[in-house]
Amino acid sequence: MHSTTARPRVTLLAGGACLIVAGATLLAVAVGVRPFPTVGLSVASAVLLLAAACILALGVGGEPGIAGASRIGRAALIVFGARDLVGLIVDAIPIGPDAYPLAIAVTSALSVVFAVAALVAGVFVARAGILRGPARWALLVVAVCHAIIAALMLSGTIEVAWFLVAARADIVLPGLFLLLGVVYLSLGLAWLPRRVSAVRR
């Protein structure tokens, strides 16, 4: 069992808050609620997602990251957190018609990389045992859902594409990021020190 000094309270609070805002922003873009330009919202959510991953992986204020001391787990978590930002950068690169096959190959390869990174991060977070309860397994659940959606998107069939559109797959991951943030934030709040006052009668 980990001592109370090893509990990443601030890490979970900061990382969870970033995930909540990032997930809510992505949901707003997906459902068409856009008080600000879509590009600005997309960039903001991507930066917040990466910030959350870095905070959770490395820890803050001397606290351990949620993947423990594993360099592989920490690196995988950061790579997964960079998925949206890397996607925006790739999409912003101007390409000609002749480069479309290469662009599709690069995009597909990145999808695989991020899916694998998410699964690896989820496994190492669960193995580290820093977190407890649902928070210990939450990232792995998100990673499995992400991998399933990525596999469906890579299938390239029209039927699958229509299924993803009908099922509103574009809101699944933002919703999961939001829920993941709530889970981490809740655990961080639960681990905050409380004043205990003894009342004698």
Give the Cβ contact number of residue 159 at 10 Å. 8
Summarize pLDDT for 88-107 with one digit per residue, the tens: 998 888 888 888 888 888 88
Instruction: Please tell me the least confidently modeled range out of 6-20, 38-52, 57-71, 158-172.
Output: 158-172
* Residue-averaged pLDDT of the chain: 87
Whole-prediction pTM: 0.86
| Residue 1, pLDDT above cutoff 70 | no
Which residues in 24-44 are b (16+ Cβ under 10 Å) and which e?
A: bbbbbbbeeeeeeeeeebbeb
Using one digit for the tens of pLDDT, what is the confidence trace for 10-56?
A: 999 999 999 999 999 998 888 776 555 677 888 999 999 999 999 99
